[in-house]
Structure 1
Amino acid sequence: MAHYTKHPVAAPPTAPERESTGHLLLRGYIILVLFATFAHSAVYNLLGEIGAAITLVAFLLSTLAIGIPMIARKRPNAFAWRRLPWAATGYTVLALISIAWSQWPGATIVTWVLLATVTVNALFIVHVLTWHEIVRALASAFKWILGLSLAMELWVALVVQTPILPNFFVRPEGEANAHWYWVRGNLLDGGRIQGIVGNSNLLAIICLFAIITFGVLFAARVRWRTTLALWTLLAAYFLLRAGSATAYACAAAAAVVLVVALLMRRAKTPGGRTRLYVVFIGGAVVVSALVWLLREPLFALLGRSADLTGRSDKIWDKVLERASQHPIFGNGFSSPWVPFDPAFDGWITDHGITVFHAHNMWLDVLLQLGVVGVIIMALAYLSLLWRSWFFAIDRPRWDLKADRSYSAITLLPSLFTIVLLVQGLTESTPIMLWGWMLLVLLSFKIKAVPLVGIGERERVIERGERARRVP
């Protein structure tokens, strides 16, 4: 007969190992880097050109000061040199050597330092954080942007009660160009809002990234899911109030990719996946053709013109004309276009303001680095799209066991990638600042750690705490 005992065979339960203070500080620093990168326009509006440049250089020096001793202490081969995103690295090198033939060498040097800063920070984040920690850091940065955007919109609408210019200057006497304003104070009157980033289109895309990140964490069953749901509602509200047609198109594309990925996960056989590929690729071709044929009524429904608000005749034609002068290697790197450089100052203007990018990332690359740059950039994004897709739909497997559960985290790279690609049709942000950071970060992380939660540096539970190593 079995007897109850107060002395069980199993060891008593113990609390999970807590993260060290140094690692918590490191994560806090990375959240600050992500915030400054995604909300760089807010830093620019607050500190001006010189202040924003100093901020980026300070982050670069800080990252090098933290990262180099860390790699040296852990031995150099601890860094996944062989897993670097070589296409993105090649683009960075080509941008640097384009100084030799650049039509605007000063702008090339300045903007390449910006590109190098973002690249170094992205590589550093991949090296020191796990998949779960990266997603949580992104979520924290997005929460800060959303929270500060809400606070600033409320302050301008209720306290200042008039639009404000950069550096918190109140609107001067007389009418100023609305595009110069940092925040217009439209939160309570139904107009488009800009948030702390000072741009409706940029705020909308950040909100979409936030919704994807919060949704992935919610599906991963992290703690504080109710709070995550509230942040998601705030991001969705800002997305609607920003009124960005590009963001709506990106959201639709991400929703389709999410549905297809989930169906692919449920397919039992390779033949089932093949049928899904045929159906959805064929459907995508048909829908794309219909959108092109019906573009005028569709854009009118969204409150936009068929020429994408002047992009085709005002911007793209001039970009193609200048790109044709040096079609192979381009005119020289400059992302963004430096407005105070004589080559760009007043070249293309919109509402009296010098345009600082081509509003199409492929045309922008063609202008700067020619056909060679376009090929390298296409390889970088196609590589990321390919790897992220199978990262999302394939079961985690490293031995004979083939029935392990999927991780919600693996959906995030493919959703982010499709948003960047769709946005790149009307914007150039996917090739600079946070767009470039996401390209390098996701490409490097998928190559370095293709399985979530597997490996010495990926042994984490769903909440992100480091688990004890099993002997």
Structure 2
Amino acid sequence: MAALSSHPTAAAPAPPPRERTRHLLVRAWCVFVLLVALIASGWNNLLGPALLGALIGLCSAVTIVVWTLVQRARAAEGAGRDPSWRRLPWLVLAYVLWAALSVIWTAWPSTTLITWSVLAATTLHGLFVADVLTWRELIRALVTAMKWVIGLSLLIELWVAVVLRHPILPDFITAPSGKVPAELYWVRGNLFDGGRIQGIMGNANLLGAAALLAISVFAVQFAASGRGRRIELGVWTAVSALLLVRAGSAGIYLATVATAVVLAMVLIMRTARTARGRSLRCLVFLLIGAAGLVTAWLLRDRLFGLLGRSDDLTGRGRIWTAVLAKAHERPVTGWGFATPWLPWDPHFQGWIMDHDLTVFVAHSMWVDSLFQLGAIGVALLALTYFAFLCRSWFFAVDRPRWDLHRDRPYSVLSLLPVLVATVLLMQGLVESRPLMEWGWLFMVMFCFRMKQAPYVGGGLIEQSPPVAERGQRAPAQQRRAR
């Protein structure tokens, strides 16, 4: 016989699956992974190459364990998703595999093994972050990581300029001014004297790139957030802009202009109502882009002069000439993977000198790739970045669609991949960083994420709960069932 009772018979309240403590810890670990990649050179200045390598190895081991536990939890929950490996960024993995095969013919086996291990670890972490986070979680993780980068850069510059009042070398070693090359200093203390600043990375060009990336991340989150968070994000954007200007990187100034142009193009493309309108806009953009490139090349001397740089980008022409001459000796397969060049390797020590220091990159990802992996490596790299750029472009300009409805609003978050692709491609013209550290991780991460979830709020991982991720109200029957 049934009896009335005031005690509930339903299951005890529980947080949503993606807000449980274990998932919050996974998100925190992703933020730490991003931070390690973003300030890798700062970790090197603090720990040294050996301890930095140990840190990367430890992070890789933890990531493998965490990723395995996440996959087991998904299987236990019976998510019923398609295998993620079917949507892996295969062009990225082909480049990594070709770099690994270069150990067969490399001229520097130990350097190839060490640097390829770092490349493999970076690729692993890019795949991991893309697989365990949704688009909104990924953007939030990037916002948090960029706050740490910008905040630490500003703090260390203030500490050196206000408290110490003298430059510092790696490991916080103090050295008398003028007795060591300026390039060796971690922080020179130029925050208030008008000179270029290096931030936590210890390199003005890297700080400029990180500041431009932070502006892109903060601006996208600013547009997607409510009024309450916009003041905070606006302050962080302003601080990032200040650091970008004080870094004084000519290449990043050009990348900033290119990023603004690409953003304007995407927003204009979003106003197209028909396929004909989109095609006309694409044609106009191609013509304007070609004209801009030709004009920039013809007026490069004046342009570099306005930016305070020589026509060979402050010695890069001399480096490229030496590296290309070496690359022509093995044009097809290259000399063997080495990103970066380990300065203590006999093949690189004293080969190309700049300010009495051994150069450890070719200062162009294309020249570096040709030198190390030959024409085959350049072809794989070009296909990889072409696929990244195309996928991120259509990810930004196509309306989200998972059924017959074609008029859903665009997501602001879908702008970020194409902005990151622009920054990496522009930086890759005069730097090799897109082949390593945060540049490579971000490329792998966004490529994999876009293949898994072709629109914000949909895909393999974001299908649970699909209605909430897509920003729509659940039907009344579903709400009552919950």
Which of residues 220, 243, 264 in structure 1 aligns to 2:248? 243
Distance in 1, Cα, partners of 2:176 & 2:314 = 28
Q: CA deviation at 1:45?
A: 0.3
2:268 aligned with 1:263, yes or no? yes
| Length-normalised TM-score, structure 2 | 0.91
Match of 1:295 in 2: 300
Is the CA contact (8 Å cut-off) linking 2:169 and 2:186 kept in structure 1? yes
- Aligned twin of 1:343: 347
Task: Tell me whether 1:388 sits opposite 2:392 in the alignment.
Answer: yes
> Is the Cα–Cα contact under 8 Å of residues 71 and 78 in structure 1 kept in the other structure?
no
Match of 2:94 among 68, 90, 94: 90
Quote the sequence identity (%).
Answer: 48
**Superposition deviation, residue 463 in structure 1:** 12
Say which SS state the counterpart of residue 356 (structure 1) adopts: coil
Number of positions where the alignment pairs a residue of Structure 1 with one of Structure 2? 455
After superposition, residues 95-134 of structure 1 pair within 5 angstroms as: 95-134=99-138
2:376 corresponds, among 372, 376, 380, to 372
Give, in whole Å, the separation in 2 of the partners of 1:204 and 1:462.
34
CA shift, 1:340, in A, is 0.7
Q: 2:180 aligns with which of 165, 172, 176?
A: 176
CA contact (8 A) 1:261 1:392 kept: yes
What SS does the aligned partner of 2:19 have?
A: coil
Residue 3 (structure 1) aligns with: none
Q: Deviations over 1:407-434 (max 9, x none)?
A: 0111100110011111111011111111
Root-mean-square deviation (Å): 2.1
CA distance in 2, matches of 1:237, 1:377: 33
1:150 matched to 2:165: no
8 Å Cα contact 2:452/2:459 also seen in 1: no
Q: Determine the C-alpha separation between the residues in 2 that align with 1:62 and 1:451.
A: 29
TM-score, length-normalised on structure 1? 0.93
Answer yes or no: is 1:230 the counterpart of 2:245: no
The Cα shift of 1:233 comes to 0.3
Change (3 A) 1:348 1:463: farther
> Which stretch has the larger CA shift, 143-152 or 450-459?
450-459
- Partner in structure 2 of residue 37 of structure 1: 37
The Cα of 1:400 is off from its aligned counterpart by 1.1
Q: Which residue of 2 aligns with 1:9?
A: none
Structure 2 equivalent of residue 447 of structure 1: 451
Aligned to 2:288: 283
Q: Which runs of 5+ in 2 are unaligned?
A: 1-12
Give the residue type in structure 2 aligned to 1:357: V
| Alignment check: 8 A CA contact 2:339 2:436 kept | yes
Question: Does the Cα contact within 8 Å between 1:139 and 1:213 map onto a contact in 2?
Answer: yes
| Closer/same/farther in 2, CA of residues 128 and 304 from structure 1, 3 Å limit | same
Once the two structures are TM-superposed, the CA of residue 174 in structure 1 deviates from its matched residue by 5.1
Aligned counterparts of 2:439 and 2:382: Cα–Cα separation in 1: 14
CA distance in 2, matches of 1:77, 1:86: 20
Indicate yes or no: 2:397 matched with 1:397. no
Most deviating of 208-217 and 68-77: 68-77
Matched, 1:205 2:209: yes
CA-to-aligned-CA distance 1:263-293 (integer Å, 9 cap, x gap)? 1000111121122122221111111111111
> What 5-or-longer segments of structure 1 have no aligned partner?
1-13
What is the distance in 1 between the residues matched to 2:438 and 2:403?
Answer: 36
Shift of 1:16: 8.4
1:273 and 2:274 matched: no
Select which of 351, 354, 360 maps to 1:356: 360
- Give, in whole Å, the separation in 1 of the partners of 2:82 and 2:391: 23
1:272 is matched by which residue type in structure 2? G
Distance across 1 between alignment mates of 2:171 and 2:225:
41
* Cα shift at 1:120: 0.6
